[in-house]
Amino acid sequence: MDDVVVIEAILGSQDDPVLAERLHAISHHGVVEVLFVEPVDLPRRRFHSHTDRGTACFVSLPRSAQLFDGALIHLEDKRAIVLRVGQQNWLRLRPSAGGAMELGYLAGNLHWKVRFKDDCLLVALDRPIDEYLARLADLQSTGKVSVIE
């Protein structure tokens, strides 16, 4: 456990010009490690994980902190750790003219995370897609919702 890096704050974004310059320098004379987090785990504030270089990390953030893709979470002279969020897959659904209310009700009742784009509802896939399609079977069979992709 001696080599565990304890992460207790988000130091900034890798896109911040000052931090970006620092990271660039470290990448030349040290190492920039990446800690991967799945989208579904992004709200967590206490967890153990390992970077792509095998460094053990214990994340213990303030309750007000929110991890994000590109967050700089550790900085030394010759080592930095940046958070990378796995790809969020989405299910694109298009309701028929009479199906939107029912689809909205279903998505809310099942606590799905959604976004709206054009005339479609995008559902964040935090679990296997079959679990979502099973809940949509009735709306699909009656033509009230089409699965676009």
Partner 1 sequence: MRKNGAARVGIGGPVGSGKTALVERLIPALHRRGIDLAVITNDLVTHEDAERLRRTNLLAPERILAVEAGACPHTVIREDPTLNMEAADSLDRAFPTLDLILIESGGDNLASTFSLDLVDYWLFVIDVAGGDDIPRKRGPGVIQSDLLVINKVDLAPYVGVTLEPMIREASTARQGRAVLCTNCRANEGIDAVADALCAAVLYQPA
Per-residue contact flags (x/-) with partner 1 for residues 52 to 91, judged by CB under 8 A: ------x-xxxx----------------------------
Told to check if 48 binds partner 1 by CB under 8 A, we report yes
Please give the Cα distance from 3 to 140 (Å, whole number). Answer: 52
CB of 131 to partner 1, least distance (A): 8
32/59 with CB nearer partner 1: 59
Please give the Cα distance from 83 to 113 (Å, whole number). Answer: 22
Tokens 């590109």: give the residue: 70
Of the candidate residues 29, 46, 116, 149, the single one contacting partner 1 (CB under 8 A): 46
Please give the Cα distance from 93 to 116 (Å, whole number). Answer: 10
Q: In what order do the strands lie in the sheet with 56-60?
A: 5-7, 56-60, 46-50
Chain contacts with partner 1 (rule: CB under 8 A): 1-2, 4, 6, 8, 41, 43-48, 58, 60-63, 111, 127
